[in-house]
Amino acid sequence: MSQPEKHTKDKILDAALDLFCVDGYSTVSIRDIGKAVGIKESSIYYHFKNKEDILQSLFDQSEQWTQMRKSQFNQALDAVSEIECEKFIFAGVAYLESYLLEEKINKMIRMLMMEKQRSLKAAEIYRQLFFTVPLEHHKNVFTRMRDKGYIAGDDPELLAAEYQSIILYVFHKYFSGPDIASDAERAAARLELSVLLKRFFKQHIQTAYG
Amino acid sequence: MSQPEKHTKDKILDAALDLFCVDGYSTVSIRDIGKAVGIKESSIYYHFKNKEDILQSLFDQSEQWTQMRKSQFNQALDAVSEIECEKFIFAGVAYLESYLLEEKINKMIRMLMMEKQRSLKAAEIYRQLFFTVPLEHHKNVFTRMRDKGYIAGDDPELLAAEYQSIILYVFHKYFSGPDIASDAERAAARLELSVLLKRFFKQHIQTAYG
DNA sequence: GTCTATAAATGGATAGAC
DNA sequence: GTCTATCCATTTATAGAC
């Protein structure tokens, strides 16, 4: 292994996320987390003040990942603002597959989806992740496309909302249950997303060949 | 009061839903429920076998409400298939306001949203409520509109998906946090929904005056 | 940093009186 | 139908040994 072994503190966070995202914060006991890591529950208190402290650390992590995504969005802005239909669809499918369905992020989303009902912080991160950050990015993309003449005078903010609503719809439709997404479900989701994005493209975006 | 007082069993279910939809099933104790109803916890076991039994009864209720909605949809089918833009928007806003945000249903949705990660039954009801039932109804509506010539040969199933994605988007954007929806949030949600539905209408539906 | 041991509180659930 | 009393398992968290 060239990778240094993870510190216990990180192992605890990973194990806690694994458990929280399925059973919810309060169902999971410190014992459960300790067992998953392979240490006694009392040892956890060396790394974290209490159980709530673990949850808050996971919220902090989620926030960081969301901000990272924001940076990635900004860096990729140039790449996505020139467009063909196939590339446009590919970008949306990639957003679903390598972000919303990426293992760690997906676990965070599942956890946030449960805790947002109780925790204002969780609710705020959920909003950032599913609305604030992507909407701003999409708006930037569509603004550029409009400036380049690919879109006929349409409101970029509305286009962003419409686009994100499609993403959200497919995500919730296919990945809201307790099971880990099967290959068949992933394929169905990919297909429906492609169809809806193709429609979106044809309706709103003029190709250079049109 | 002409209304007969609710039986204790129903009071227990109401109180349990109130607590479950905010804190989640496992956070809430039988003692909490008893306190909310005004009886001792042991009395609850006269009405329900155990704590899980209460949750399952609430799931059953949710399922019944979802099926009721299905019937309502079917009965209202004729009324919505002749259309002006304003009526079209009004129908969508009403779907949000007097169904998804109706007090009892909204509590059920919040509960299901948390429990669907653990419970297959909750996940299934959630799917029915947000996808299966409304998608079928929307599809019927758009099929009728197509048959009457209001829609130019578009696929009713895709239109249904696009329509529902707008509803879902607004619902999740404005009502995913722990707070009860304020009047301001409700107004903002109504406004954004109206704008998006108006767009949808102008893009897909030909008026008789066009 | 991890362990054993233990405190103190809370949880689900039952028995039996009224 | 509801109460009091009680049981027993589990939980969070701490103290102190190694």
**What is A56-204's CATH topology?**
Tetracycline Repressor; domain 2 (1.10.357)
Determine the distance between B45 (CA) and D4 (C1') in angstroms.
15
pTM of the model: 0.96
So what's the pLDDT on residue A207?
63
User: Does pLDDT of B1 surpass 50?
Assistant: no
Q: Give the residue carrying structure tokens 């990635």.
A: A72
Identify the residue among B19, B116, B173 best suited for mutation to test binding to A, counting A beta carbons within 10 A and taking the highest.
B173
Q: Where in chain A is the domain with CATH 1.10.10.60?
A: 1-48
- A29 CB inside 7 Å of strand C: no
Residue of B20, B126, B138, B165 best to disrupt the A interface, most CBs of A under 10 A: B165
| The pLDDT of residue B179 | 87
pLDDT of residue B2: 43
Q: Does B132 touch chain A (CB under 8 A)?
A: no
B67-91, pLDDT tens digit by residue? 999 999 998 888 777 778 999 999 9
| The pLDDT of residue A25 | 98
Q: What pLDDT, on a 0 to 100 scale, did the predictor assign at position B77?
A: 85
pLDDT at position B3 is: 56
Quick one: pLDDT at residue B4?
A: 60
pLDDT at B207: 63
The set of residues, in sequence order, having a beta carbon less than 8 Å from that of A18 and lying 6+ positions away, is A36, A107
Rounded average pLDDT over B159-174? 98
Which of B118, B123, B195 faces A158 most closely, judged by CB atoms? B195
pLDDT band at B40 (very low <50, low <70, confident <90, very high): very high
Strand D proximal to A23 Cβ, under 7 A:
no
CATH number of B55-204: 1.10.357
Residues 33-62 of B with CB under 7 A from strand D: 34, 38-40, 42-43, 46-47
What's the mean pLDDT in B35-60? Answer: 98
Please name the residues in contact with B128: beta carbons below 8 A apart, sequence gap of 6 or more: B63, B66
Q: Residues A141, A80: contact at Cβ < 8 Å?
A: yes
Shortest distance between the Cα of B127 and any Cα of chain A, in A, equals: 7
**pLDDT per residue over B89-138, tens digit each?**
999 999 999 999 999 999 999 999 999 999 999 999 999 999 999 999 99
Mapped to the 3 state alphabet, what secondary structure does chain B carry? Answer: CCCCCCCHHHHHHHHHHHHHHHHCHHHCCHHHHHHHHCCCHHHHHHHCCCHHHHHHHHHHHHHHHHHHHHHHHHHCHHHHCCCCHHHHHHHHHHHHHHHHCCHHHHHHHHHHHHHCCCCHHHHHHHHHHHHHHHHHHHHHHHHHHHHCCCECCCCHHHHHHHHHHHHHHHHHHHCCCCCCCCHHHHHHHHHHHHHHHHHHHHHHECCCCC
pLDDT digit of tens for each residue in chain A (210 aa)?
445 678 999 999 999 999 999 999 999 999 999 999 999 999 999 999 999 999 999 999 999 999 999 999 998 888 777 778 999 999 999 999 999 999 999 999 999 999 999 999 999 999 999 999 999 999 999 999 999 889 987 899 999 999 999 999 999 999 999 988 899 999 999 999 999 999 999 999 976 554
Q: Are A73 and A137 in contact (CB under 8 A)?
A: yes
A153 touches chain B (CB under 8 A): no
Q: What tokens does A133 get?
A: 């950050």
pLDDT of residue B168: 98
Given a contact cutoff of 8 angstroms between Cβ atoms, the answer to whether B54 and B13 are in contact is: yes
**Where does chain B hold its CATH 1.10.357 domain(s)?**
55-204
Closest nucleotide to B45's CA, by C1' atom? C13
Report the distance separating Cα B4 and Cα B158, nearest Å. 47
Whether A107 sits with its Cβ under 7 A from any strand C atom: the answer reads: no
Nearest C-alpha neighbor of B177 from the set A23, A44, A131: A131
Residue B146 has pLDDT above 80, yes or no: yes
**Strand C, CB < 7 A, residues 124-183 of B:** none
pLDDT at B152: 81
pLDDT value at position A96?
97
Contacts 24+ apart (CB under 8 A), A84-91: A84/A207, A85/A198, A85/A201, A85/A202, A85/A205, A85/A207, A88/A197, A88/A201, A88/A205, A89/A194, A89/A197, A89/A198, A89/A201
Mean pLDDT (chain B) is: 93
* Per-residue confidence (pLDDT) for residue A3, from 0 to 100: 57
Write out the CATH class of domain B1-48: mainly alpha
User: With a 7 Å cutoff on the CB, does A42 touch strand D?
Assistant: yes
pLDDT of residue A62: 98
